[in-house]
Amino acid sequence: MNVSTNILALLFLALGSCQGLRRHHVDGIVEEEIEFVAQPSKFGSLWPLPQKVQISQVSFKLTGFSFNIVDAKQSSAGPSCALLQDAYRRYYEYMFGNAKRSGKNKSRRAGPTDLTELQVWITSADSDCDAYPSVKSDESCEWPLSGIIRLETFSQLIYEDDYGAKSINATSISDFPRFPHRGILLDTSRHFLPVKVILANLETMAMNKINVFHWHIVDEPSFPYMSKTFPQLSQQGAFHPYTHVYTPADVKMVIEFARLRGIRVVAEFDTPGHTQSWGKGQKDLLTPCYSGSKLSGSFGPVNPILNTTYTFMTQFFKEVSTVFPDGYVHLGGDEVDFNCWKSNPNITKFMDQQGFGRDYSKLESFYIQRLLDIVATTNKGYMVWQEVFDNGVKLKPDTVVHVWIGGRYNDEMSKVTAAGYPTLLSAPWYLDYISYAQDWQNYYKVEPLSFNGNAF
C-alpha cells in the first residue's frame, strides 16, 4: 500500500510537504544529511528518538489562545477528514489542556516570536480517512527546511520555562520506523481488563508510536469475546456473562479508538490448545480424555477428527473476519498438550487411518492446516506461534511466524527467515522476566536483528 492509500500518512504534520523520501532536494541540489543525535535533547523530550534530528537555538512561543493546527490550503485532506480533525483537537488538549480560550486572551495580539499555526499538508491525491492502518502503511517522512513530524513528535518538542510559558525550537527531523510492526500484547482472558483500561493502553501506545495492539482476547481461563454467531461461548465461558465480556459495541469502540491513533488491532483466537473456556459453550468441540478404557470426565485440546469441529471453525472465523478489519488474525497454535489425544481410542484409530503412527505433532499439523485453509477463505492473512512452524505445518509464504520461546530464539529466527517467512519476535520482551534491581534495562539492550536472516 502506498502513501496515498494509508491512514498513517494522514498523521504526519508538516510546515512543508511530505514527499516520503529518504534523501531531500532543494532546487535540484542534494542537501547534506541531518546529523544523528548522540545526546538527549535539552529542548523537549523526544521518544522514541527520531532517526535524525537537528534542534536549533531559535525558539518560538506557543500560547493556547493564539495557536492553531490547521489544514494547509494545498492539502488533499480538509475539514471533511474526521480523523485529522479529531487528532487536531486531541493534540491541542495534550499541549494546552482543556482550558477554554477566553475572550480576554483572544484580544491579545501574537508577538513576533509566537508560533501561531501548524499547517498539515497532505500530499496524497486520494487520501482515505476511513481506511484502517496496515502492516504496509508508510510511516517515513522528512523535510530539509522546517521539518515533517508526527503530531506526537511535535507535542514532545514543546517545553516549559519556570513560569509555565511554552516554547518550541526550530527543528529539522528525518524519521522512519525501523520496524513496521511495533506491538503490545494484552491478555484479557487470564486477566480481564475493562474497556477503559484497554483504551488507556492504546492512548499510551500512541504516545510511544507503538502501532499494533495484539489482543489476546480469549484463552484457557475465560472466553470474554461476545460472539453474535455463538453467544453461548461467552455466556458459558466468560468469568461472568455480563460484567466480564466484550460486547460487539465494546470491540467496535476499541477498534475505532485505535484507528484514530494509527494503531492496528490484531485479535488472537488460539487453538487447538488453550481452549478449555471454548468447550464450556460449544458441545463436542474438545477432545474427551480417557483413563484406561473409560472416560475420565476431563477434556483436552480441540477435537481434530470431527467434521463438526471444522464446521464450527468456518462459521466462527467468518464472523471474526468481519468484526476485526485488520489484514491478519492470530491463530495461536502453541503449547498443545498431547496427553488427552493419546488417551482417546478414537483419536488413535484416526491416527492409524491417516498413517500418522504415534506422532501427534502430525495430528496437530493436520488440524492447523485445515484451520489455515478455512481462514484463507476469509481473505485474511494469519499469524501463528513458532510451534506451528517447528512441527512442519505447510504454511503459505506470507504466513507470519511469531517467535516467543526464550533461550536460543536467535537460532529460531534464523530458521524461520531462512525458510522465507516474515517473522515477529517477542521472546526477549516478556514482562514476567523479573530479576533483581533495574531489570528493565535488559529490554532495551536487545538487538532484534542479531541473527543471520532478514528483517520483516
Instruction: Give the residue among 362, 419, 420 at the shortest CA–CA distance from 392.
Output: 362
SS3 (DSSP) at 295: strand
Q: 59-94: per-residue pLDDT in tens?
A: 889 888 889 888 888 777 777 788 888 989 998 998
Strands (E), 251-327: 264-267, 286-291, 294-302
Same domain for 329 and 270: yes
d(CA 172, CA 41): 13
Quote the domain boundaries for residue 188: 183-394
Are 167 and 251 in a shared domain? no
State the pLDDT at residue 387: 94
- Higher pLDDT, residue 293 or 134: 293
Q: Which of 6-15, 132-141, 411-420 has the highest mean pLDDT?
A: 411-420
In terms of domains, do 228 and 309 share one?
A: yes
- pLDDT, position 14: 25
Question: Which domain CATH number covers 153?
Answer: 3.30.379.10
Q: What is the pLDDT of residue 42?
A: 54
C-alpha to C-alpha distance for 448 and 50, rounded to whole angstroms = 18
Domain boundary among 155, 174, 193: 174
Which of 153, 174, 195 represents a domain boundary (last residue)?
Answer: 174
Q: Which residue has the higher pLDDT, 107 or 29?
A: 107
- The confidence score (pLDDT) of residue 70 equals 86
Average pLDDT, the chain: 83
Closest CA to 268 of 414, 419, 400: 400
Say if 420 falls within a structural domain.
Answer: no
Q: Do residues 70 and 203 share a domain?
A: no
Q: What mean pLDDT is predicted for residues 284-305? A: 96
Region class of 437: left (phi > 0), else alpha (psi between -120 and 50), else beta: left
Q: What is the Cβ-side half-sphere exposure of residue 46, based on CA atoms within 13 angstroms?
A: 27
- Would you state the pLDDT for residue 284? 96
Residue 30 and residue 273: Cα distance in Å, rounded?
A: 57
Q: What is the pTM of this model?
A: 0.84
C-alpha to C-alpha distance for 65 and 109, rounded to whole angstroms: 10
Could you tell me if 197 and 248 are in contact, meaning their C-beta atoms sit under 8 angstroms apart? no
Domain membership of residue 437 (yes or no) is no
Confidence of residue 109 (pLDDT cuts 50, 70, 90): low
Residue 140 — pLDDT band, cuts 50, 70, 90? low
244-253 mean pLDDT: 98
36 versus 81: which is more confidently predicted? Answer: 81
> Does residue 293 form part of some domain?
yes
Of 152, 335, 412, 447, catalytic:
335
Contact between 256 and 307 under an 8 Å Cβ cutoff? The reply is no
Query: Do 113 and 223 share a domain, yes or no?
Result: no
Nearest Cα neighbor of 153 from 72, 90, 209, 85 is 209
Question: Is residue 337 located within the same domain as residue 262?
Answer: yes
412 is catalytic: no
Least-confidence region, from 166-170, 268-272, 288-292 = 166-170
pLDDT of 137:
74
Number of domains within the chain: 2
For residues 190 and 153, membership in a common domain is answered with no
Cβ(182)–Cβ(209) below 8 Å:
yes
Instruction: Establish if 318 belongs to a structural domain.
Output: yes
Out of 372, 394, 416, a domain closes at 394
> Under a CB-based contact definition with an 8 Å cutoff, are residues 427 and 409 in contact?
yes
249 and 303 share a domain? yes
**79 lies in the same domain as 212:** no
**Residue 117 pLDDT:** 84
Reported as a pLDDT band with limits 50, 70 and 90, residue 154 is confident
For 178, which DSSP code?
S
Same domain, 160 and 208: no
126: confidence class by pLDDT, cuts 50, 70, 90: low
